[in-house]
Chain A
Amino acid sequence: MKFFPGANAAASVINATVASGITWAIGLAINEVAYRNAMDSSKTIEQLLDSDFGSLFEKFMEQNPVTKNKS
């Protein structure tokens, strides 16, 4: 990549964009799990993280137009 001027800059932008998207999806998924926990106290936060976090994270990754095809 060193031989292509601007390649490093482009890689930085892609890296930063993907990292932002993943962080955004983690944040939204935790936020949603905590919201569900507050709405319905019959499930503990550990149970909700076990059952819901993974699918929520995937969902928010899918919804993010930047990360859905780049991760």
Chain B
Amino acid sequence: MDKQIPFNFDTYDLKEELDRLRGKVKKPNIFIAGATGSGKSSVVNHVFGRDLTKVAAGEPVTRGIHQFMSDEIAIVLYDSEGYEIGSARQQAYADEVIGFVERAQTKGAAEQIHLVWYVINASMKRVTPLDRALIKQLNEATSVAVLLTQIDQVDMDELTALRQELMDVVSEEAVFQVSVADELLNDPELRTHLDWERLVTWSVEQLDHSLQEGLLMEIHAESEAILKLKRKKANRIISGYVASAGTAAAVPLPFADAIALTPIQVTMSVHLFRYWGVKANDDMLKTLIGSTIIPQIGRALSKTILLTS
């Protein structure tokens, strides 16, 4: 029988574990489409709380479309260069976008486009025929959210008219009203007209369970509703480690399970800290787990044993 080596926290390679975890998280591919000036960058910056196109190096994957990916980001972003409304390039843009997405959907699951955010500037007060045609085609290939941006520039009637123009190309629940104007974001009553939270929730639900974690890791959680969603979805991460712990402990030898369990529980703790974006370097995380969490578990368990025996 193999001799089991006791878990040694001092020699536990947290960096290697973090690298392994980063590699394990499946990244959703999100495509941002829309005309020039529609507000694509503002959407990305608001939802993710930072300009991901600056964090990751952008590689052109085809004409006019850049892929932004990095080890530091749990999603892959595809950004299209856009087009001037009314320009000759409109149709070429549509062909490039739909061609790219349709080709991606024939590839393996990891390379497919899992979500499209199609951005339309509401202040233009119209949905162009090209927008409608493109949204319809994209919607046949993958999940498409239509984001009406700068809604602070239109009145309710104009907004209703815009939504009606989209009715036959995309379902009503996939249309989102957004704005990054401070007067809307900072006013509790006006904020109710914004769909930022609904956009995040809807987008997460469109993804396979294995891809949800990546998107939730990157989301800039600015509201209680999104934080609650994030907390709820973390149960899936925990469940995976619980299953491993159960398997590791199914050995009826005294203390054998403790040797196998500690690395599982330490890794789970690191995983959850990373999921929540806890700002701590690797050494600090190790200290937190080693000097704060593990002793508290020991104390709580001995207390429980004393109370129940």
How many residue pairs at the A-B interface have CB separations less than 8 Å? 123
CB of A63 within 8 A of chain B?
no
Whether B231 contacts A53 by the Cβ 8 Å rule is no
Q: How far is the CA of A19 from the CA of B273 in the complex (A)?
A: 21
Q: How far is the CA of A39 from the CA of B237 in the complex (A)?
A: 20
Q: A19-B245, A19-B257, A46-B288 given as contacts; is B238 within 8 A of A58 (CB)?
A: no
**Interface 0/1 of A14-46, CB less than 8 Å to B:** 011111101110111011101101110000011
Whether B252 contacts A30 by the Cβ 8 Å rule is no
Question: Per DSSP, are chain A's interface residues mostly helix, strand or loop, or mixed?
Answer: helix
Q: Which of B181-233 contact A (CB under 8 A)?
A: 221, 224, 227-228, 230-231
Q: How far is the CA of A57 from the CA of B265 in the complex (A)?
A: 13
Which of B2-10, B104-112, B157-165, B301-309 lies on the face that meets chain A?
A: B301-309
CB of B180 within 8 A of chain A?
no
Sorting the interface of chain B by its residue count into under 10, 10 to 19, 20 to 34 or 35 or more gives 35 or more
CB of B272 within 8 A of chain A?
yes
On chain B, the residues within 8 Å of A20 by CB distance are 242-243, 245-246, 249
Which of B84-92, B113-121, B126-134, B290-298 lies on the face that meets chain A?
A: B290-298
B292 to chain A, nearest CB (A): 5
Whether B272 contacts A49 by the Cβ 8 Å rule is no
CB of B261 within 8 A of chain A?
yes
Q: A18-B249, A35-B231 given as contacts; is B238 within 8 A of A27 (CB)?
A: yes
Question: Per DSSP, are chain B's interface residues mostly helix, strand or loop, or mixed?
Answer: helix
A3 to chain B, nearest CB (A): 14
A68 to chain B, nearest CB (A): 8
Q: How far is the CA of A38 from the CA of B141 in the complex (A)?
A: 36
On chain B, the residues within 8 Å of A28 by CB distance are 235, 238
Q: A37-B278, A53-B292 given as contacts; is B303 within 8 A of A12 (CB)?
A: no
Out of A17, A26, A38, A57, name the residue touching B268 (CB < 8 Å). Answer: A26
* B contact set with A: CB distance below 8 Å: 221, 224, 227-228, 230-231, 234-235, 237-238, 241-243, 245-252, 257, 261, 264-265, 268-269, 272-273, 275-276, 278, 280, 288, 292-293, 296-297, 299-301, 303-305, 308
* A contact set with B: CB distance below 8 Å: 1, 8-9, 11-13, 15-20, 22-24, 26-28, 30-32, 34-35, 37-39, 45-46, 49-50, 53-54, 57-58, 61, 68-69, 71
